[in-house]
Amino acid sequence: MGNKIINGYKFIGFEDEKFHIYFSTAEKNLNFNKNTSEGISNLENLRIWFGLDSIGYLNQTHSDIVYAYDEEVHDGDAIITDKKNIGIGVFTADCIPILIYDKDKEVIAAIHSGWKGTLKCIVQKAIDKMILKYNTDARDLVVYIGPHNMQCCYEVSDDLIEEFKKQEIYQNINIAKNRNLSLQSCIISQLLEKEVNLEQINPLNICTYCSNEYSLHSYRKDKEESGRMFSFIFIK
């Protein structure tokens, strides 16, 4: 993991041969809220800064809908592609950004998974679509789990924890401590069930709410004043 500074803005970055992965931060109040002119401008800046042909994203709705990138902005929460020099990404301010690449078939995915998407197993559905469309083998996947509201700060209702515990996939793992839910543990369980091994999974373990190392947008902390981060991946 390394920090990449562009125009004074800090990104948490990873590079692996052809694959490039970046998680934006709130350094210098960098904001990618696409419902604002500032956010749209920063998305265009991002394209220029990283030398990309285009930036693909969705109107996120906390769903389990997965799209293959086609230059349109759809309603959904996961996007996949095998196109080179196209950045695909998701917006977050506490929910979990998951970035995945298939190092053999050269396919990438960007997934937005809040509690609703996690309950609907959107990560598994994105992998299923990669398998169906691109013949991906789960053993070739590399997964990064980005900054989010981690269990240390993610207190939810008892009812929501019980809703998760009803799911068969979470029956034999510890996903909650008191009323603090670990969405990351849920996502790792989803990945393991799809035969993605632990050594293929890279959690950053950075909490948007309490991190002292990074400045990060957090809706829980800043409410309506919160900006949005953009987590994205591309193939060169």
- The 10s digit of each residue's pLDDT in 53-85 is 999 999 999 999 999 999 999 999 999 999 999
- pTM comes to 0.97
- Rounded CA gap, 155 and 192, in Å? 25
Per-residue pLDDT reduced to its tens digit, 156-168: 999 999 999 999 9
Chain mean position to CA 152: 19
Per-residue pLDDT reduced to its tens digit, 86-122: 999 999 999 999 999 999 999 999 999 999 999 999 9
- Rounded CA gap, 236 and 234, in Å? 7
Beta carbons of 142 and 100 less than 8 angstroms apart: yes
CATH numbers and ranges of domains, the chain: 10-149+197-235 (3.60.140.10)
Chain mean position to CA 74: 17
